[in-house]
Structure 1
């Protein structure tokens, strides 16, 4: 049986290698960007990924920028011929040409883990979601969620942080952001019900961008199993919600799930249950993974930099002292957290949860004198500007003042992407991060237990041991 799997893998490698050979042969002789494509099939994927595993994902980019003296270089990533675009001018070009010259692309593994019940591609489903989400995630709509976020943050810190001398931050941050996503997207807030989802979601997330070989024991196989389990759970929640809406026990505006059930498309059709489950599944993944990384690194930098901590503490305590007993945070309070958000932005600059993203070339085009062929993939990297001294002097220095006034130049600070594909949950993320910071500094000062803990980027930055810290509660 084992030899059968090995033969299958060899056949897969051969076919990919053959298709890559013909693709490169076809474009040979045209004025391609400088660069090398690395090994057959795997290209430079291992080097690309390994710099992240070693904690310096920008090294892959900057080494090649220096070698080829170019903002654009060619490579081969995830079995695809690719051009890497670096810098603000490249970001502007890509974001401005979305759905004209380029479109979103992600590996086939994503379609297999998120098989749409409508038989359309995940690209088409993402476009539909982008039309639907603004109603739910615009600032006016989000204002009414702040009290819910505050309540869940209080419960989270009471159950996971208080009465502990030491905690491991990353798993706790994941619990907080996932609890919020479950409550605001599908109105699930019972901790036991949330916990039932948590492990399958972690399995799904870790296997989403992996080698798409569906064999027992592989991360990809576990991700598909987890996806099927969660989808079944979501369908049960959807069926119950339909009943509750008819009986008046649920509100049409209480969360994204209700919104999807009562909203028809331009032809008056309503979404199928499985279709809604697919979309909620994608939202729950996007709605908690990146924010949990951001919250973890906020704790890391506040623990390392006492003067930054003091600035955040002072601002947040002024807000806390202005509240009456039991009074929840509101929109006005969030608007006062200017320094705290500058700190969060500097964290997002130094440790962006979204390291970059892929695009697919829709038609041949020229950029900076180089031809970029149709069908190639383009990768843009946040670190190509975030850690570039041309845009951020002393890029390794933590300096929240970079975000005062009008802030960094356009297209240089891109933790949420840009253009038509800018993250629709940007404002949602801002709220959950600021509410987290408020409750953290109001309760504790933190000290890192592992002073020089290694950072791994896979695909998001994560402290290797999860960031264990010692807690020092404030005495009032």
Structure 2
């Protein structure tokens, strides 16, 4: 599997490019089993044409390691994601490569680790409690939209220093419009999803610019203030425009995927009373006071397993795009420079050669005795891998554990019967019904 001395006579991956211009894009966006059908037919690498580019889809832990580690320099993030991402999210860390990415990741790192996380804990818990109290009063609500608002508020308050209140709802709605435009046809005609996404982006950037100017004058403890003040070893700092796009990315990364995972968590806890019962027993052992602490969070080992299994079976994003900047061969097939690749998170996570009974929700596969994800490198990649592993992972883990602990310790709920629980992957995984809840009530003390 080397890119050296490539023989152009090596065959391209099997598969079809589809129709002129649009290729197989419509099937890709509408068929949940697009990659699975072709994997079953062609194996771990196949070709297609989606989102305007010839594409090699690569599947399995070996492919993940090839892309994320051993042949990392053959691929570009900036040239991989669709043009809609670049237009809507700007040239943020997500779409940077090489030294530029390394430098800016280093500037952003302090906002998501160490003392910053400790500082976030109390506010994060307070916001989560306010939503749980709100749902207790409502009793009936739709979880996906509520969790999206909650995680957006957490990201907005902690990362940008926004004030809690009505403006959060307004900004959250703008962000929903932006997210809905990421995987859609980029028609800038008034009334289209993409037109609304552009408007949402522009209004969010205006808001962010105002917030950055405020932080320059009066810094606080939020991540935006850290960004405004941070300099690298050469004394370089980010410009207002650079901070704006990085802040937009922090908002996006800080709530979209977490919303998806928390929605899936709530779904599986309702569907698997035995797992909920075991999670409750763990919380009862830890709960010597009503207060949740960082020390308790570290000791929630069963909840860790549950969250890993949510990541495995319900990954928020089905795969990752990269642009091919150096040609390569993989499993006997040649992929030219200028193509894009898509590595499949979903199909790797459901590979029976890695995970026992992969369609079954089984947190015990991650216990110390089994540790199925450690048998093969890069087999659990919901948060990426290698040097581009998710910067906000610790932030997301803390948020999800605080939420899960408060929910499991204090509440009982039922799912509304007859709702559509089939899963929609756009923009991130969620039930088509949004997960309708009824009888959300406090547990008897």
TM-score (structure 2 length as normaliser): 0.91
1:390 and 2:357 correspond:
no
What's the Cα RMSD here?
2.1
Which of 422, 430, 437 is equivalent to 1:454? 422
Counterpart-to-counterpart distance in 2, 1:134 and 1:272: 17
Tell me if the contact between 1:304 and 1:447 (Cα under 8 Å) persists in the aligned partners.
no
1:183 and 2:157 correspond:
yes
455 and 115 in structure 1: CA distance in 2 versus 1, 3 angstrom threshold = closer
Within 5 Å, give how 1:379-418 maps onto structure 2.
Answer: 379-405=342-368, 406-408=371-373, 409=375, 410-418=377-385
Within 5 Å, give how 1:124-139 maps onto structure 2.
Answer: 127-139=102-114
Task: Report the Cα offset of residue 191 of structure 1.
Answer: 2.2
Q: Residue 24 of structure 1 aligns with which residue?
A: none
Counterpart-to-counterpart distance in 1, 2:284 and 2:141: 23
263 and 165 in structure 1: CA distance in 2 versus 1, 3 angstrom threshold = closer
Q: Residue 205 of structure 1 aligns with which residue?
A: 179
1:84 and 2:62 correspond:
no
Unaligned runs of 5+ in 2: 1-6
1:239 and 2:213 correspond:
yes
Q: Residue 373 of structure 1 aligns with which residue?
A: 336
Q: Residue 16 of structure 2 aligns with which residue?
A: 36
Within 5 Å, give how 1:64-103 maps onto structure 2.
Answer: 64-68=38-42, 70-97=43-70, 99-103=72-76
Q: Residue 429 of structure 1 aligns with which residue?
A: 396
Counterpart-to-counterpart distance in 1, 2:9 and 2:41: 21
Tell me if the contact between 1:111 and 1:121 (Cα under 8 Å) persists in the aligned partners.
no
Task: Report the Cα offset of residue 273 of structure 1.
Answer: 2.1
Q: Residue 51 of structure 1 aligns with which residue?
A: 31
Q: Residue 343 of structure 1 aligns with which residue?
A: 306
Q: Residue 296 of structure 1 aligns with which residue?
A: 263
Q: Residue 142 of structure 2 aligns with which residue?
A: 168
1:474 and 2:443 correspond:
yes
Greater shift, 370-379 or 95-104, is seen at 95-104
Q: Residue 221 of structure 1 aligns with which residue?
A: 195
Task: Report the Cα offset of residue 330 of structure 1.
Answer: 2.2
67 and 439 in structure 1: CA distance in 2 versus 1, 3 angstrom threshold = same
Q: Residue 310 of structure 1 aligns with which residue?
A: 277
Counterpart-to-counterpart distance in 2, 1:309 and 1:153: 19
Counterpart-to-counterpart distance in 2, 1:121 and 1:447: 38
Counterpart-to-counterpart distance in 2, 1:121 and 1:356: 15
Which of 103, 108, 121 is equivalent to 1:146? 121
Greater shift, 445-454 or 273-282, is seen at 445-454
Tell me if the contact between 2:328 and 2:334 (Cα under 8 Å) persists in the aligned partners.
yes
Tell me if the contact between 2:107 and 2:231 (Cα under 8 Å) persists in the aligned partners.
no
Tell me if the contact between 1:350 and 1:387 (Cα under 8 Å) persists in the aligned partners.
yes
Counterpart-to-counterpart distance in 2, 1:411 and 1:392: 13
Counterpart-to-counterpart distance in 2, 1:317 and 1:386: 31
Tell me if the contact between 2:265 and 2:310 (Cα under 8 Å) persists in the aligned partners.
yes
Q: Deviations over 1:97-123 (max 9, x none)?
A: 464111212112222223459xx9942
Task: Report the Cα offset of residue 348 of structure 1.
Answer: 1.4
Q: Deviations over 1:355-393 (max 9, x none)?
A: 111011111111111111001100001112111211112
1:362 and 2:317 correspond:
no
Tell me if the contact between 1:98 and 1:420 (Cα under 8 Å) persists in the aligned partners.
no
Task: Report the Cα offset of residue 407 of structure 1.
Answer: 4.3
391 and 115 in structure 1: CA distance in 2 versus 1, 3 angstrom threshold = closer
Q: Residue 410 of structure 2 aligns with which residue?
A: 443
3-state SS, counterpart of residue 81 of structure 1: strand
3-state SS, counterpart of residue 208 of structure 1: coil
Equivalenced residue count is 429
Counterpart-to-counterpart distance in 2, 1:278 and 1:90: 31
Counterpart-to-counterpart distance in 2, 1:121 and 1:148: 27
Tell me if the contact between 1:101 and 1:361 (Cα under 8 Å) persists in the aligned partners.
yes
Counterpart-to-counterpart distance in 2, 1:89 and 1:30: 20
Tell me if the contact between 1:303 and 1:445 (Cα under 8 Å) persists in the aligned partners.
no
Tell me if the contact between 2:182 and 2:427 (Cα under 8 Å) persists in the aligned partners.
no
Greater shift, 186-195 or 173-182, is seen at 186-195
Q: Residue 235 of structure 2 aligns with which residue?
A: 268
Unaligned runs of 5+ in 1: 1-26, 53-58
Q: Residue 4 of structure 2 aligns with which residue?
A: none
Q: Residue 230 of structure 1 aligns with which residue?
A: 204
Task: Report the Cα offset of residue 128 of structure 1.
Answer: 4.3
